[in-house]
């Protein structure tokens, strides 16, 4: 059987979790920056969103019921909502999290997601963990690490160039001595 390379490398279309009404979510976010299913208490989540906004994180929280679809669908929903709401959008299901941000890089978002996942439907706990990790200072400055590695690479290349130049100079000197005419013996 022949496999078509075009079908193997075709990316999957972005999908939203089943039965998701984006317009209803956007409308629900309007009052307190939280969108949750009917019957889900929003007060604690709204307080967390307000605290995050006070710390400079323009946060919107969306809660979906259960773990519907794939976990990557939550990121697609966050991206769709983020296209309208801007800032940082976090979507919680019972065990998964999807995020989007126009101000926080993907690595930091996923670092914050890691500890907040699998909280068994305790959205307030997951949201608090997520926000705490976003507010925590970075322990490692990756820019500084990159600059040190780059400087080290430049020093190593310079050192290798110097060694190679000395070897070439010595080889030329040795060749000159060998090629020099010898004086006739008397």
Per-residue pLDDT, 11: 54
DSSP at 55: T
Give tens-digit pLDDT for 122-179: 889 999 999 999 888 877 777 889 999 999 999 999 999 999 999 999 988 888 777 7
| C-alpha span between 45 and 70 (Å, rounded) | 24
pLDDT of residue 118: 87
- The pLDDT tens digits for 43-89 are 999 999 999 999 899 999 999 888 877 778 889 999 999 988 889 99
The pTM (predicted TM-score) of the whole model is 0.68
Residues 155 and 14: their CA atoms lie apart, in Å, by 46
Nearest to 102 by CA among 77, 126, 115, 85: 85
pLDDT confidence bin for 13, thresholds 50/70/90: low
CA distance 79 to 82: 5
Cβ–Cβ contacts within 10 Å for residue 141, how many? Answer: 11
């Amino acid at each position: 059987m022949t496999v078509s390379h075009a079908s193997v490398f075709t990316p999957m279309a972005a999908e939203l979790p089943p039965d998701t009404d984006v317009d209803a979510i956007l409308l629900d976010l309007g009052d307190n920056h939280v969108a949750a299913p009917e019957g889900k208490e929003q007060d604690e989540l709204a307080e967390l969103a307000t605290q995050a906004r006070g710390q400079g994180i323009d946060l919107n929280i969306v809660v979906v019921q259960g773990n519907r679809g794939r976990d990557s669908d939550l990121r697609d929903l966050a991206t769709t909502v983020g296209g309208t709401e801007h800032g940082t959008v976090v979507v919680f299901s019972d065990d998964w999290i999807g995020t989007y941000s126009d101000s926080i890089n993907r690595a930091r978002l996923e670092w914050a997601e890691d500890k907040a996942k699998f909280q068994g439907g305790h959205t307030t706990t997951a949201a608090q963990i997520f926000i705490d990790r976003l507010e925590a200072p970075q322990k490692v400055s990756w820019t500084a690490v990159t600059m040190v590695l780059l400087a080290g690479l430049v020093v190593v290349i310079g050192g290798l160039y110097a060694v190679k130049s000395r070897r070439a100079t010595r080889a030329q000197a040795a060749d000159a001595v060998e090629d020099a005419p010898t004086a006739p013996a008397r």
